[in-house]
Amino acid sequence: MGIFSRLKTLISSNVNDMISKAENPEKMLNQLLIDMNEQLIESKKAVALAIADEKKLERETRNQESQTHEWERKAMLAVKAGKDDLAKEALLRKQEHENHHAEYKKQWDAQKASTDQLKEALRELQNKIEEAQRKKNLLVARAKRAEAQKKIQTTMSSVSGNRSAFDTFDRMAQKVDQLEAEAEAAKELEDFSSSNNLEKRFAELEKSDSSADLLLADLKEKMKALPEKSE
């Protein structure tokens, strides 16, 4: 079980290091998953070796059991043949294999229990890594959203704190308003001057026409008063 303790320590160390640095969450999560999968591979190798040892003990246990039955069969065969001495030898060999079988059976049971625990721990670890893989994208999305919100808040705080920028906009707005007012005033004066000039011209024209009429009337009256001359 030591290998899983080392893996747990590695994962905790990497997570704490990631939190303390708080740099690029996506990069750190990817690296963490890489480390976890590498350790998972090593764990699988260790479990595979444990399973191999269990299988070896199982085969030897069954072999000793088979030898026990075989020497018992031979002892029976010797008894049937009337060879008790040979039967005793066979029974002694049977006893040896029974003792070996009991010892191997004990080791096999212990190894099998340990291997079952390792396999269960490995399955749990693999499930957790797969769950971490699924959660990674959500964590990365949350981190990016938080970073975007942080940038927006920083920008807003910076702009809000810089009153000169807003004051400049206000002054420019007032300047534009002043320019528009001056342009409208100039146009109104120009229209007024044009109107006065036109009225003045017509007044002079009317004045000119009236003087000529008067002069012409005077002339005609004067001519009427003169005596007529014969041709």
pLDDT digits (tens, 9 = 90+) for 113-130: 999 999 999 999 889 888
**Residues contacting 115, CB < 8 A, separation 6+:** 47, 50, 51, 53, 54
Q: Which residues of 139-176 are buried (b: 16+ CB within 10 A; e: fewer)?
A: ebeebeeeeeeeeeeeeeeeeeeeeeeeeeeeeeeeee
Is 140 found in the same domain as 43?
Answer: yes
Picking from 108, 140, 161, the residue at the C-terminal end of a domain is 161
Picking from 161, 179, 209, the residue at the C-terminal end of a domain is 161
Q: Is the pLDDT of residue 231 over 50?
A: no
Q: Choose between 193 and 89: higher pLDDT.
A: 89
Is 221 found in the same domain as 131?
Answer: no
**Identity at 14, one-letter amino acid code:** N
What φ, ψ does residue 89 adopt, rounded to 5°?
-60, -40
CA 187 to CA 164: how far, in whole Å?
A: 34
pLDDT tens-digit map of 85-106:
999 999 999 999 999 999 999 9
What φ, ψ does residue 110 adopt, rounded to 5°?
-65, -45
The reported pTM is: 0.52
Asked if 18 and 32 count as a contact pair (C-beta separation under 8 A), the reply is: yes
Is 15 found in the same domain as 70?
Answer: yes
Q: How many domains does the chain have?
A: 2
Pick the most confident of 68-77, 122-131, 166-175, 202-211.
Answer: 68-77
User: Would you say residue 231 lies in a domain?
Assistant: no
Q: Is the pLDDT of residue 6 over 60?
A: no
Is 134 found in the same domain as 98?
Answer: yes
Is 129 found in the same domain as 71?
Answer: yes
Is 205 found in the same domain as 145?
Answer: no
Dihedral of alpha carbons 39, 42, 48, 52, sign: negative
pLDDT of residue 143: 77
Asked if 108 and 54 count as a contact pair (C-beta separation under 8 A), the reply is: yes
Reported as a pLDDT band with limits 50, 70 and 90, residue 159 is low
User: Would you say residue 63 lies in a domain?
Assistant: yes
195 lies in which domain range?
166-226
pLDDT of residue 147: 78
Asked if 7 and 39 count as a contact pair (C-beta separation under 8 A), the reply is: yes
Reported as a pLDDT band with limits 50, 70 and 90, residue 78 is very high
Closest CA to 106 of 49, 64, 68: 64
What is the share, in percent, of the chain residues with pLDDT greater than 90? 35
Is 190 found in the same domain as 123?
Answer: no
Q: Choose between 60 and 192: higher pLDDT.
A: 60
Closest CA to 57 of 15, 23, 87, 102: 102
Is 139 found in the same domain as 196?
Answer: no
